[in-house]
Amino acid sequence: SQTIHQWPATLVQPVGSPLSLECTVEGTSNPNLYWYRQAAGRGLQLLFYSVGIGQISSEVPQNLSASRPQDRQFILSSKKLLLSDSGFYLCAWSVRPGPAYGYTFGSGTRLTVV
Amino acid sequence: KQEVTQIPAALSVPEGENLVLNCSFTDSAIYNLQWFRQDPGKGLTSLLLIQSSQREQTSGRLNASLDKSSGRSTLYIAASQPGDSATYLCAVRQGTGNTPLVFGKGTRLSVIA
């Protein structure tokens, strides 16, 4: 069966420090991969998505970046965190194509920038 | 640009009541629609998925309907229980399915024992 792993679960980082969040999927190949952020009192905001190795689409210009070094690995990074980067980060995957298939989400990373 | 709206933003009901959560979307050319549940501080759990060609899906006490022409979906929860308390999110997938999900802001449900 397919599973998605996301870590760490919780992270407290000082302003200006770097960030690396990792997401891996097991039990499938060629998934679409996504990074979403959920800020307090706001909805889910799509940050990046990837349809293949090295292919990254950015939805929101900001100081975050994403990479997909392997088929089932998706990494969210920042060189220098801002206070506004605090939030709940969720990774998700979906198969392509297939209207009968939806998204599966990881358990999320709570990031607090202090 | 697709926009998804969920009403109400919050809902409190006594245990045992049947309830309906609403979701509307502006572009009817959807690929599928998915309802999720999110417990505080947790990830999203998929509840039901309705393909664009379907009218409804059922799982246990949950029933989701889809009316593409009017841009609406409803999530019906029968005989609500305190364990149903969570935030419920509606999300739509556009076109041919390669575009990402667009989410509503959710309905926060509290079921009071």
- pLDDT tens-digit series, residues A3-59: 899 999 999 999 999 999 999 999 888 899 999 999 877 789 999 999 999 999 988
DSSP-derived secondary structure for B8-76: -SEEEEETT--EEEEEEES---EEEEEEEEE-TTS-EEEEEEEETT-SEEEETTEEEEEETTTTEEEEE
Quick: pLDDT tens for B26-54. Answer: 999 898 999 999 999 899 999 999 999 99
| Interface contact A100-B97, CB threshold 8 A | no
| B52 touches A at CB < 8 Å | yes
pLDDT of residue B90: 97
- The mean per-residue pLDDT over the stretch A87-103 comes to 86
pLDDT of residue B97: 65
> B5, B6, B44: best mutation site toward chain A, by most A Cβ within 10 Å?
B44
pLDDT of residue A111: 96
Query: What's the farthest any 2 CA atoms get from each other in chain B?
Result: 44
- The mean per-residue pLDDT over the stretch B46-65 comes to 96
| Interface contact B43-A49, CB threshold 8 A | no
Residue listed under structure tokens 């190795």: A53
